[in-house]
Structure formats: C-alpha cells, structure tokens
Structure 1
C-alpha cells in the first residue's frame, strides 16, 4: 500500500471510489454555473409529452477586449408554474443572469448521418443580476421603423 493510499479513509479504500485528482467521492452528477447574458428573450415550447419547456441561450465572453471570444450555451428549464416561470419569461435580451444547471452529454445521429454529441444543460437555479425589459426592446424596435 502506498503512502497516499494509506491516507484515504478506510471505506473509500475498500470501495476504491476515490479519484486520483480529487478527495471527494465519485458523483454521477455534473453541474455547471454560468454568468452570462441572454441571447434573446426566453421561449416556451411543448415537448412531445405535452410538458412545457422554457428554452434560452446565454452568452459568455472571455479574453482581452481586442480579441474577445464568446461562447453560447443553450439552456432548458422544465417550465415551473408561478413565480419562477414569470421571472424567467419576463427577462429580455441582454439580461445578465447567474445560472446553475445539471449537465449531460447526449449522442445523436445528425441529419447527414454522422454521429454527433451535444451538451444539455437543464436549469436548476437562476438569479437575475441585471434585468433588461423585453417590452422596452420591442418599443425601441418600433420607434426605428
């Protein structure tokens, strides 16, 4: 038994559940935290089973100002009733949000027959850091027409 193995708690040594890069137990849950701006106002769609899902996309930027890179994250929220639904649907394009979600990688067959993967993020918690009103956005577009 190596020195590092002897430092592990006995139950974890017995189950061999520790990872070489972490001292926490193995988890089958992947969670992501994103602070970003909404690409557009959220939309509600119905699944094949009839359940409502709120879909939106968040943009995050990194890097120096003259070489800024943006990543886009597609997020789904199985539409809750009441206050949380109203909060999310009341956000306009450009609203800054703090989002926590469960993640999974899904494999699927593309239209051209190739095997593809996509990251799926299901929202669990959201906090609004800077609200943009979707009605003000529509009025600004109407004034320029």
Structure 2
C-alpha cells in the first residue's frame, strides 16, 4: 500500500521549533490554491521533524512557497469531554524551497531582477510532450 502526498503552497504562519523527545518539531499550515477554480484554497496541517524542521525554520517563514512530500497520518484521541476525535496531517519527509525567506515578504522574483523561473529548470518547459519523448 502506498501513502504519498505531494503539496505545493504557502506557509500560513511564522514557524516555531519545539522539542519533541530527542528531536525537534515544527507544526504549521500550508495554503494550497486550486489551479482549476479561482478563490478556492485548501489548508493542510503539516508536521516536520528533526533536520527538516530545522531547515524550514532557518530558511522559510510566513508566506514562503514550498513543496512538501510526505505521508498522511491520522491520530485518534479522546478530548476532555470523552468524545472521540481524529486529526489528519501530513508528515513532511522532504521539502523543496520554491522561494527564499526574503521573497515571501512581498517581494517577487521579478521585483528583485530575477527571472520568474528562478532555479527551477522546468518552469518554462513545454507542456506538449509526445509519448515518444517519455523515458519510460
């Protein structure tokens, strides 16, 4: 069975590292726009641990655009009133930074004199690819 989740979006709040046993954790929400419907945004809870959490805290902030690759995890528990509750979040295994901390604070790449493609070699790729060009 496979449990793989890939999301691209913007961090919704400032990140904070917290101790979690022998490691560190950062919990945050990622805003992901629906590319097919304007003004339709979903918010996903993300948890990152260890080195991934430290890198996020060092290089990202509120508004940073990132790609998260991870897996869904469901936690079931009882609240104070004894009601059964469930929380689903993405546990980040890999993070790709799609802009820098400075760019997330209202300065776009074009305003900084950089190309919109940035360091993404696929940003200007042609979407019309024939089957004969595929490597598999």
Q: Give the TM-score range, shorter chain.
A: 0.5 to 0.7
Matched, 1:133 2:133: no
Find the structure with the greater CA-based Rg: 1
- The 2-side partners of 1:50 and 1:31 are apart by 26
In structure 1, the gaps of 5 or more residues are: 1-26, 138-145
> What's the TM-score, normalizing by structure 1?
0.61
- The 2-side partners of 1:130 and 1:52 are apart by 24
Q: How much has 1:45 moved relative to structure 2?
A: 0.8
Counterpart secondary structure, 2:29:
strand
Sort the Cα spacing of 1:51 and 1:85 in 2 relative to 1 into closer, same or farther, 3 A.
closer
Contact 1:30 1:104 in 2 (8 A): no
**Partner of residue 43, structure 1:** 16
- Superposition map of 1:18-29 within 5 A: 27=1, 29=2
Question: Which stretches of structure 1, 4 residues or more, deviate above 6 A after TM superposition?
Answer: none
The structure with the largest helix share of the pair is: 1
**Partner of residue 80, structure 2:** 111
In structure 2, the gaps of 5 or more residues are: 107-136
Q: How much has 1:86 moved relative to structure 2?
A: 5.1
> What's the TM-score, normalizing by structure 2?
0.64
Matched, 1:124 2:96: no
Q: How much has 1:115 moved relative to structure 2?
A: 0.8
Sort the Cα spacing of 1:114 and 1:85 in 2 relative to 1 into closer, same or farther, 3 A.
closer
- The CA RMSD over aligned residues, in Å, is 2.5
Sort the Cα spacing of 1:39 and 1:55 in 2 relative to 1 into closer, same or farther, 3 A.
same
**Partner of residue 69, structure 2:** 100
